[in-house]
Structure 1
Amino acid sequence: MEISGVISAIVIGIVIGLLGRLVVPGRQHIGVLWTILVGIAAAFVGTGVAAAFDVADTKGVDWIELAIQIGLAALGVAALDRTKGRR
């Protein structure tokens, strides 16, 4: 993966993290940095999951891959909020 691919993955990960946070109902007790890190991880993992199910490369926008990434980000934000909220 080239540097431009990594940078674009980080930018997309930031957006995915914010969208994942919007999907989770209620107020989350985690910071923006954690949201961004969860989004970046969800973007990378979601791309791998989409590739495993052979839905990563479609004509136009990859809506299924995007939905997988947002779902993973929402799960990550909710899980992190649950662990952070117990402190």
Structure 2
Amino acid sequence: MLTSLIAWLLIGAIAGWLASLIVKGRGLGLVNNILVGIVGAVIAGWLLPLIGFVFIGGILAAIVNAVIGAVLLLVIIGLVQQKTA
């Protein structure tokens, strides 16, 4: 259980950091990267199978899925922030 939690945090940190580099060009900080990566993984885990896009594999597939979801999340957040500004 502890190793699963550590794996989720590590994947979330990597995915959030990569997504923040793709979308904004800078990091968001460790905690925010982890949160964005984990939420992105949940989004990708729900959305990608619905459209027939599923990676099968180990940790690399989990990171790719999480990055895709985190990029989507950051784009949506950016759009919402632009509309409210």
TM-score range, shorter chain: 0.5 to 0.7
1:31-70 paired onto structure 2 within 5 Å? 31-32=28-29, 33-47=31-45, 55=54, 57-58=56-57, 62-63=60-61, 65-70=62-67
Distance change (3 Å), C-alpha of 1:23 and 1:55? same
In the TM superposition, what is the alpha-carbon distance from 1:68 to its structure 2 partner? 2.4
The TM-score normalised by the length of structure 1 is 0.61
- The aligned residue for residue 77 of structure 1 is 74
2-structure distance, mates of 1:6, 1:20: 21
- Does the 8 Å contact 1:9/1:40 carry over to 2? yes
The TM-score normalised by the length of structure 2 is 0.62
- The aligned residue for residue 22 of structure 1 is 21
The C-alpha deviation readout for 1:21-48, integer Å capped at 9, x for no partner, is 1111x467x9434333111222344456
When the two chains are superposed, the root-mean-square deviation of aligned CA atoms in Å is 3.4
In the TM superposition, what is the alpha-carbon distance from 1:83 to its structure 2 partner? 3.0
